[in-house]
Structure 1
Amino acid sequence: AERPPLTARLTADGGREWSAAGATGTGLLSTVARDAVDLFTGAYAHRIRTCGGDGCRLLFVDTSRPGRRRWCSMERCGNRHKVRAHRARATSAGTRKASADTPTASAGARTAARGD
């Protein structure tokens, strides 16, 4: 883990390209291990979170200003959570509306007693 087998270089279009010339599997894993040690002991260690998505076990670094990010990805886990919550509210509202539209036995008895 002392010497990184991966080197980064800028491409002509401004992107980044990694080179692993002469690298071995062990060397590549040592790079991952070194970066993990840097992350878990570095400035953002207190911002490492576990995703709040159902069944998602990913970790992420919360770089949001208030530090309240909940999901590894809003596009994936956050969207799934919000869709699920919306459907639950819509189903619940539909059930309440249907029960409000259905006359109860006592209301029917009052109508019959009045002779309507």
Structure 2
Amino acid sequence: MSISDQMMKGLLDGAILGLIAQGETYGYEILDKLKAQQFPEISDGSIYPVLLRLNKKGYVTSVSKKSITSGPQRKYYSITQAGINELRNFKTKWQYLNNGMNNLMRSVNDVN
């Protein structure tokens, strides 16, 4: 099922902040975790602009570290206090919106 770009943009910010809040992580690991949670339509190219935007807003910080295994350095992201505040705000808005949508959808008869 295709999700509009605007919907995905807003959801990705909150989802990625939520994952980073669980502990320091890097882009590819974030992508794997989103896919494991069945988050729709995620590509490598969609993660990094979000990480850059979150960094510019001061919600996350990043540090480059040598890979534990072989390969290039990885940029690891951690959440800041501003990011924690934004995540709390996102969760409140999401719960409000999700509750309203669930109520609405329960009241709609099946449409074929």
- TM-score normalised by L of structure 2: 0.28
Q: Indicate the structure with greater helix content.
A: 2
Say which structure, 1 or 2, has more relative contact order (CA 8 Å, 6+ apart). 2
Which structure has the bigger radius of gyration? 1
- TM-score normalised by L of structure 1: 0.27
